[in-house]
Amino acid sequence: MTNIDVRPASGALGAEVRGLDLEKLTEATFSQLHELLMENLVLLFPEAEPLSAEAHKNFGRFLGELEVHPFLPKLDGHQEIVVLDSDEGAKADVWHTDVTFAANPPIASILQIVQCPPRGGDTMWSNQHLAYESLSAPLRDLLDGLTAVHAFVHPNGTTFEAEHPVVRVHPVTGRRSLYVNRMFTMNIPQLRRAESDVLLEHLFTTSERPENVCRFSWRPGAIALWDNRATQHYAVNDYTERRIGHRVTITGDDPKGDEPRWPHHQDTTTAADHRAQPRSR
């Protein structure tokens, strides 16, 4: 076993990992990291040296096949590495889970910051296991039998839409978590629109509570690996200097939960209808 230094990042989730050469990651060492990821949901590498593009991709491949994002800009010569540049509008300052509008959302992401301001531009993650477990038993029982519609419309007019359980079961740990987010979740189709809006707002607020959150301050070269199946994240937009990150994303699975116990309500509308009448955010 590799002797690595692991320190909790908060009481809710996250661990800082030191003492690893991620450029030369081995199967044995990754096995340790995977156990830590299942326990902590977010692994932070504050003292990591800048990874080569190939090492960054190889790190991701330990978790699975790498996604080629359909429209985000890529690193030259490396279609699996997305470039997130604040000067090009890459400021995701709304709580979200990545790409939940896809039928098979990504299971994890690995982000390396290559340029950042001297202060500001932190990232926060929230623990959706804790969010679910903090709810009362009757409400958890209701949510276990519901689904939610997630949608995104690209500027070119292409609509992406998927329906997933409101509560998903983690395929490795078996633990339940909330699986709705403020950026992409449109409605709960088994409910009337007004009911859906009120319930989703309560779930969003619960999922974003400070008690469920860890926060990380970046430096150039630092890396974060997170489990996209049980977390949300938020890029804090409190800076003006340029911030650039390189991200690889591991292709998705099929979110599983209990079967819905009710049919879609008859007044269920389309994702386009919901965007025309957005909830208060």
- For residue range 172-196, list pLDDT tens digits in order: 999 999 999 999 999 999 999 999 9
Q: Is residue 264 part of a domain?
A: yes
Whether pTM exceeds 0.85? yes
Does residue 261 share a domain with residue 147? Answer: yes
Could you read off the pLDDT of 247-276 as tens digits, one per residue? Answer: 999 998 999 999 999 999 987 555 545 443
Tell me the CA distances in angstroms from 5 to 15, 32, 69, one per residue in order.
10, 12, 33
Q: What is the pLDDT of residue 1?
A: 46
Residue 275 annotated to the active site: no
Q: Is residue 2 part of a domain?
A: no
Does residue 193 share a domain with residue 261? Answer: yes
Q: Is residue 3 part of a domain?
A: no
Q: What is the pLDDT of residue 270?
A: 52
Name the domain count of the chain: 2
Does residue 45 share a domain with residue 25? Answer: yes
Q: Which of 233, 243, 246, 274 is catalytic?
A: 233
Q: What is the pLDDT of residue 9?
A: 97
Could you read off the pLDDT of 189-216 as tens digits, one per residue? Answer: 999 999 999 999 999 999 999 999 999 9
Q: What is the pLDDT of residue 164?
A: 98
- Judge whether 54 and 241 are in contact, CB under 8 Å: no
Does residue 221 share a domain with residue 158? Answer: no
Q: Which of 69, 170, 229, 247 is catalytic?
A: 247
**Cα gap 59→26, rounded to integer Å:** 9
Residue 98 annotated to the active site: yes
DSSP string spanning the chain? ----EEEES-SSS-EEEES--GGG--HHHHHHHHHHHHHHSEEEETTPPPPPHHHHHHHHHTTSPBP--SSS-EETTEEEEEEEEGGGT----S-B-TTTTSSS--SEEEEEEEE--SS---EEEEEHHHHHHTS-HHHHHHHTT-EEEEEEE-TTS-EEEEEEESEEE-TTT--EEE---TTTEEE-TTS-HHHHHHHHHHHHHHHT-GGGEEEE---TT-EEEEETTSEEEEE-----S--EEEEEEE-------PPPSSPPPTT---HHHHHHSPPP-
Contacts with 266 (C-beta within 8 Å, 6 or more apart), sequence order: none
Does residue 131 share a domain with residue 88? Answer: no
Q: What is the pLDDT of residue 272?
A: 47
Does residue 51 share a domain with residue 113? Answer: yes
Q: Is residue 4 part of a domain?
A: no
The amino acid at residue 246 is H
Domain that includes residue 190, residue range: 127-207+257-276
Does residue 113 share a domain with residue 35? Answer: yes
Q: What is the pLDDT of residue 2?
A: 61
Q: Is residue 6 part of a domain?
A: no
The amino acid at residue 77 is G
Q: What is the pLDDT of residue 194?
A: 97
Residue 265 annotated to the active site: no
Structure tokens at 25: 């990651």
Q: Which of 69, 98, 170, 227 is catalytic?
A: 98
Residue 233 annotated to the active site: yes
CA proximity to 148, closest of 183, 180, 101: 180
Q: Is residue 160 part of a domain?
A: yes
Does residue 34 share a domain with residue 122? Answer: yes
Q: Is residue 281 part of a domain?
A: no
Does residue 111 share a domain with residue 151? Answer: no
**Cα gap 97→201, rounded to integer Å:** 16
Query: Cα angle at 235 between 233 and 238, to 5 degrees?
Result: 150
Q: Which of 78, 96, 140, 192 is catalytic?
A: 96
Q: Is residue 5 part of a domain?
A: no
**Cα gap 143→141, rounded to integer Å:** 6
**Residue ranges of the chain with pLDDT lower than 50?**
1, 272, 274-281
Does residue 164 share a domain with residue 68? Answer: no
Does residue 82 share a domain with residue 151? Answer: no
CATH at residue 135: 3.60.130.10
Does residue 193 share a domain with residue 156? Answer: yes
**Cα gap 208→204, rounded to integer Å:** 6
